[in-house]
Amino acid sequence: MTKSTKTILWVFFLIVALVQLFPLIWLIDFSFLSSNEFYSSSVLKWPSDPQWQNYINAWVDGKFLRYFINSTFVTSVTILLTVILSLTLGYAFTRMQWKLRPIFFTIILLGIMIPIHATLLPNFAIFKALGLTNSYLGLILPYTAVSVPLGTFILTGFMRSIPKAMEESAVVDGANIYRIVFQIIAPLTAPALVTVIVTTFLNCWNEFIMASTFLSKDALKTLPFSVMNFAGQYSSDYGSQFAVMVLTSIPAIVIYAIFNEQITKGVTAGAVKG
């Protein structure tokens, strides 16, 4: 490719990237404005007097810290459980020999196709009867159940490409099945595990509909509710609403910035192996 084509391509991408990010730039820009400045005719507006108060409102009235801690706890436990269950299920489906294997594998994969929204209503009834609504477990259980099928699918694909010789030599050295799975297979599947972790993180961290159905107790709510807190009484205070949206987005963007390379690698590995 010639240098000039490359430059044109570069400029083209730069423009598209700006267009793509425009909504977010606008969000950040307007989070520094006072509400009466919203109605001016300009599309973007340099804040003459940046309203830091908006961010204080967002932090305090959005109950940011409380919800952030809840999100972190629920997401971490979900990720841990998802990794362990997907790893053991994946291993049992690719290497272990047992009769019911194809049936159980199909059942687990059905989980990818069944919409969670369809299980929302009965789960609400069950969780209510079991006293699981308004508990961390009431989110962790369905989040894990939703994440495990995809995790198992990604890991089985990856494990099939690992040569059995690894396990054979471990058996010769006297390792038992549990050591093989957790000390030999787990590190070997690390790239796929990172993909599982990141997709689980993104799904659970931003999940809203199950959380809003199963939780009513304020002390347990997760990060998306920070934004929802501004829907009622603050609905005309746009500046604070925008500030809370910016704050809510920051953790996921930071995590993404750190794991960006692994996401691409994971997807690439998945796409090529199909």
The structure tokens 């010769």 sit at 172
Of 42, 48, 233, 236, which lies in the binding site for another protein, with binding defined by CB under 8 A?
Answer: 42
186 lies in the site for another protein, by CB under 8 A = no
66 lies in the site for another protein, by CB under 8 A = no
- Nearest distance from C-beta of residue 142 to another protein, angstroms: 5
Largest CA distance in the chain: 76
Give the nearer residue to another protein in terms of CB position, either 233 or 272: 272
The CA distance from 246 to 31, in Å, is 8
- Nearest distance from C-beta of residue 258 to another protein, angstroms: 11
51 lies in the site for another protein, by CB under 8 A = no
13 lies in the site for another protein, by CB under 8 A = yes
The CA distance from 261 to 215, in Å, is 35
165 lies in the site for another protein, by CB under 8 A = no
3-state SS, residue 264: helix
Cα 22 to its chain centre, rounded Å, is 23
> Could you tell me the CA-to-CA distances from 59 to 47, 139, 223, 230 in Å, in that order?
20, 24, 11, 11
Give the nearer residue to another protein in terms of CB position, either 73 or 85: 85
228 lies in the site for another protein, by CB under 8 A = yes
- Give the single-character DSSP code of 163: -
208 lies in the site for another protein, by CB under 8 A = yes
**H-assigned helices in the chain:** 3-30, 52-61, 64-94, 101-113, 116-130, 137-159, 165-172, 177-179, 186-188, 190-205, 209-214, 224-228, 238-273
134 lies in the site for another protein, by CB under 8 A = no
- Nearest distance from C-beta of residue 158 to another protein, angstroms: 14
148 lies in the site for another protein, by CB under 8 A = yes
Of 59, 68, 104, 136, which lies in the binding site for another protein, with binding defined by CB under 8 A?
Answer: 104
17 lies in the site for another protein, by CB under 8 A = yes
On whether the CB atoms of residues 210 and 144 are closer than 8 A, the answer is no
Restricting to residues 82-101, which ones interact with another protein according to CB under 8 A? Answer: 85-86, 88-89, 91-92, 95-98
